[in-house]
Amino acid sequence: MKQKIRKISAIICTLLTALTWIWFLSTLPCFAAEIPTSQLGPTNPQELERFLDDFFDKEMSKARVPGAVFTLVKDGKIFLSKGYGYADLENKIPVDPDKTLFRVGSISKLFTATAVMQLAERGKLNLNDDINKYLKHFQIPNTFPKPVTVTNLLTHTDGFDAGWGIGAFARTASQMTPLGDFIKKRLPPRILPPDEVFLYSDVGMNLAGYLVEEISGIPFAEYIDKNILQPLNMRRSSFVQPLPPQLASNLAGGYKYQNGTYQRRPFAFSNTVPGNALMATGTDIAHFAIAHLQNGSYGNNQILNAATAKQMHQRQFFRYPGMVGSTYGFFERVQNQQRTISHGGRHAGYTSQLYLLPDRNLGLFVACNNNPTSLTDNLVNKFFDRYYPPEKTLNPIPQRINSSPAHLQQLKGTYRFVHYPHRTIEKLAAIFGEAAEIRTFADRDGTLSLWVPEFKSVEIKPLLFRFLYSNGLMGFRQDEKRQITHLFLGGSVYDSLEKLSWFETNDFQLKLSIFCAVTFCSSCIAWSIRRARNQFTQQQQ
């Protein structure tokens, strides 16, 4: 029995390790020698279309995706917009970039952040204010000395626990809960001080959307329609649930592939509207991208002042110099030596990605009506490899500082990605493998390794490490007691990990669960045998 438990644990740990390293490797930034601007980026719409046709022809069937849309904007115009496959499999209705709406999930948060920035530039709120100043019907508890500010909400540094997986959706419109009531009832606890760790969740942006309602005095969806969608001529997009009749018939069906067939998912009504409820066409999202790349301007309309738009795109939070961070709403990333600001979206039956390259005045959007992220991620990677090819060079390692064995021993251990609920039953998903873990090892040569020797790193500044065989960075956080609490990987602001005690690791929890299950089953069997024996004895008497 012990050998079986060890084998099961080893297999699961090996799979978790492999998945973790695939994720980690994809986050390490690539730096390259400068390439002349004229040689970079798509220049011919027909050539780009051929590239896309070939990609979607090969990849859609692999990823089990019924339909997709792609739009690219450049220099203030739509460069290419095209649909692939079917929006409605049952009726064979093709995807039309101008008419077909997709649920874009968390890309909705960019509209929420834009709305907050509008209110800030109009003097209706201050980004550095305690949000309790604007909340009329409930208050955020003073768990830590520092208050939660508007900036914290927009940069995911508010310290709220991730949550709302349970109860975030309703089956019918009549079962939906108003935004303020939902937040008041379901507000997760604050688990970290503000400004310390990037902890992505729906909580902060939905609070930001609620501030829009409170300050403007109108429902969130109505504010967005009047102040963003209409000025950008996004006539076929909406946060309203259910969709207005003139748009509902063009909503792409969300699908899942199961048992060899595509199954249409029912429409889920979101209670967290500012965080994930937007439904939009590819063309309309292109208008939004153009406005951000043109510093808030679209045609004759201005949704943000130029200074505000530039401020929104600047890095607002990062752990160490040289690491990417978060802006007001966007995630910063270096992709093939290009600085990008982006956001992805997932909804039941839908996946999307929006990437902006402010320095190139270019943006791309892709969405599909199934949930595998492989298609959207592969497209983004292949697009950058083709039009912004990497020329990998290993930058010289800065002067390392002396790292004592005792110091490195303090850093070694098991770390888990923080983006999971810590205080609800949903934590079980993390314990059984949904939240990946990595381990650090202190080496005798004064280096720190992640899992394997190839990922050796040296300390270049206190608690900041540089990998020997790549340009990647890794940093650590200490609490007020000088205990190590978190690890940060430099390729993505999303890659924040918390240090675990030995009994919190997936490996221990899995073994403990197996032991408890075996003990319980053995007890049940023993009890059944004992009862049967007693009954037999009584019958013999």
pLDDT in tens, 201-241: 899 999 999 999 999 999 999 999 999 999 999 999 999 99
**Confidence bin at 397 (pLDDT 50/70/90):** confident
Q: Nearest CA to 238 among 219, 225, 251? A: 225
Which amino acid is located at 476 in the chain? F
Please give the Cα distance from 363 to 73 (Å, whole number).
5
Report the share of the chain in percent with pLDDT over 70: 89
pLDDT of residue 6: 43
Q: Can you give the pLDDT at residue 452?
A: 58
State the pLDDT confidence band at 396, using cuts at 50, 70 and 90. confident
Q: DSSP labels for 323-378?
A: S--B-SSPEEEEETTEEEEEEEEEETTEEEEEEEEGGGTEEEEEEESS--THHHHH
If you search the block for the tokens 């381990």, which residue do you land on?
Answer: 439
Establish if 300 belongs to a structural domain.
yes
In a domain, 536, yes or no: no
Of 113, 96, 310, 283, residue with least CA distance to 211: 113
Give the model's pLDDT for residue 21: 40
Task: Identify the CATH number of the domain in which residue 154 sits.
Answer: 3.40.710.10
Backbone region of residue 463 per phi and psi (left: phi > 0; alpha: psi in -120 to 50; beta: other values):
left
Task: State the number of CA atoms in the 13 A half-sphere of 410 facing the CB.
Answer: 17
The pLDDT, as a whole number, for residue 22 is: 40
Model confidence, pTM: 0.87
Angstrom distance (rounded) from CA 130 to CA 134: 8
Residue 366 in domain: yes
Higher pLDDT, 321 or 114: 114
Asked whether the predicted pLDDT for residue 381 surpasses 70, the reply is yes
Asked if residue 514 is part of any domain, the answer here is: no
| Pairwise CA distance, residues 354 & 82, whole Å | 15
Comparing 149-163, 222-236, 387-401, the range with the smallest average pLDDT is: 387-401
pLDDT for res 242? 95
Q: With the C-alpha atoms ordered 406, 492, 388, 338, is the resulting torsion angle positive or negative?
A: negative
398 pLDDT band, cuts 50/70/90, is confident
Look at residue 444 in the predicted model and tell me its pLDDT: 87
Residues 224, 265 contacting (CB under 8 angstroms): no
Residue 521 maps to a domain? no
Does 307 lie in the same domain as 244? yes
Q: Which residue has the higher pLDDT, 383 or 419?
A: 383
Question: With 90 as the cut, is the pLDDT of residue 12 above it?
Answer: no
- The tokens describing 39, both together, are 């040689």
Q: Within this chain, do residues 325 and 231 fall inside the same structural domain, yes or no?
A: yes
Distances (CA, A) of 100 to 49, 237, 287, 345, 367: 19, 10, 15, 17, 11
Residue 365: closest CA among 51, 80, 75, 50: 80
Please answer whether residues 186 and 177 qualify as being in contact, where contact means their C-beta atoms are separated by less than 8 angstroms. no
Count other C-beta atoms under 10 Å from residue 454's C-beta.
11
Task: Write out pLDDT tens, residues 43-95.
Answer: 999 999 999 999 999 999 999 999 999 999 999 999 999 999 999 999 999 99
Give the pLDDT band (50/70/90) at residue 483: very high
**What's residue 435's pLDDT?**
65
Mean pLDDT rounded to a whole number for the chain: 88
Contact 419, 162 (CB under 8 A): yes
pLDDT at 2: 40
Q: Specify whether 47 is located in the same domain as 172.
A: yes
Q: Looking at per-residue confidence, does 517 or 66 come out higher? A: 66
Q: What is the CA angle 289-293-299, rounded to 5?
A: 80
Instruction: Tell me: pLDDT of 3 over 50.
Output: no
Q: Residue for token digits 């978060």?
A: 326
165-169, 352-356, 482-486, 497-501: lowest mean pLDDT where? 165-169
Indicate if 258 and 373 belong to the same structural domain. yes
pLDDT tens-digit readout, 182-191: 999 999 999 9
Higher pLDDT, 225 or 30: 225
Helix (H, G, I), strand (E, B) or coil at 497: strand
Percent of the chain with pLDDT over 90: 70
Do 183 and 260 lie in one domain? The reply is: yes
Distance in angstroms (rounded) separating the CA atoms of residues 301 and 118: 14
Tell me what pLDDT residue 426 has.
Answer: 67
User: Among 264, 239, 243, 268, which residue's Cα sits nearest to residue 254?
Assistant: 264
Q: Does residue 531 lie in a domain region?
A: no
Pair 461, 421 in one domain: yes
H/E segment holding residue 441: strand 437-442
Residue-level pLDDT at 522: 80
Mean of pLDDT values over 146-164: 93
- Domain match, 245 and 306 both: yes
Q: Is the pLDDT of residue 431 over 80?
A: no
DSSP 8-state class, residue 264 = E
Residue 518 belongs to some domain of the structure: no
- Please indicate, yes or no, whether residues 182 and 319 belong to a single structural domain of this protein: yes
**Among all chains, which residue has been given the structure tokens 């110091």?**
407
- The pLDDT, as a whole number, for residue 482 is 92
**What's the confidence (pLDDT) of residue 24?**
42
Query: Amino acid letter at 48?
Result: L
Residue 393 in any domain: the answer is: no
180 exposure class (CB count in 10 Å sphere: 0-12, 13-18, 19+):
middle
Q: What are phi and psi of 484, to 5 degrees?
A: -75, 125
- Structural domain that includes position 452: 2-27+401-504
pLDDT for 18 equals 43
Total number of domains in the chain: 2
